[in-house]
Homo-oligomer: A and B are copies of this chain.
């Protein structure tokens, strides 16, 4: 990610013509797949040009640049490839709530498989073809029920914030575990204990301390469904009654 105090804007990979390729053993798709695997295992921290190259076999990091333009370009391709995994109906159906839930739940499932997504997505413009297709679908659903385009975009953004926010929370928990080394369960306990003591310190934060002592409440999946429901209910209340205007 080049800083850009006064220069040329860093080119987006989407504005590049698709590379004219001969048979090459290395293909853009292979690279993106490998990069996704690397990030799945090592998180955004582990996502390194060198790591991706190594995973692909006997390649140097520089070989990747021929195919993905830059690391940001690679990330853009990864984000779009993951978005492509989200199942999407061909067209909006009769039940708009079901359509929204399909997209949201599908996104949530996919994003949970690739937790780095939530951490990288907010750093890049959402201009990949699959990302745009997904947004377009949500817009179709909402505009089809009578929302204005501006409202539909608002609701789409609000749902995405919720999805990515939830994933980020899960990602942070995983990162914390990784930070302390998954390898020594004793150290994880020690870290948790330290945090607990911080919270308990001085008797401030009694509720927080009690919760850290014995975390309770629904799991993240349930939390996700719960607030998704809140949001969809809220949207429903603003949609014109009885479907789209004639």
A→B interface (CB under 8 Å): 1, 3-10, 12, 14-15, 45-46, 119, 122-123, 125, 127, 132-133, 135-136, 139-140, 143, 148-154, 157-158, 161-162, 164-166, 168-169, 171-172, 175-176, 178-181, 183-184, 187, 190-191, 194-195, 198-199, 204-208, 210-211, 215-218, 223, 226-227, 229-231, 233-235
Contacts and interface: CB of A to CB of B under 8 A. Distances in A.
Contact of A154 (B3, B135, B218): B218
The 7 closest A-B pairs by CB, nearest first: A150-B217, A230-B234, A161-B165, A150-B216, A9-B180, A139-B207, A165-B165
Contacts of A123: 119, 172, 175
Given A119-B123, A136-B205, A154-B217, 9 more contacts: A6-B184, A8-B187, A12-B194, A143-B207, A149-B217, A152-B207, A161-B227, A226-B234, A233-B233
A169 B198 contact: no
A1 B207 CA distance: 31
Given A122-B168, A139-B208, A198-B15, A149 B216 contact: yes
A200 to B, nearest CB: 10
B148 A217 contact: yes
B217 A181 contact: no
Copies in the assembly, this chain: 2
Given A150-B216, A231-B227, A3 B122 contact: no
A198 B45 CA distance: 30
Contacts of A122: 119, 168-169, 171-172
6 contacts: A3-B45, A8-B187, A15-B194, A123-B172, A153-B215, A230-B233
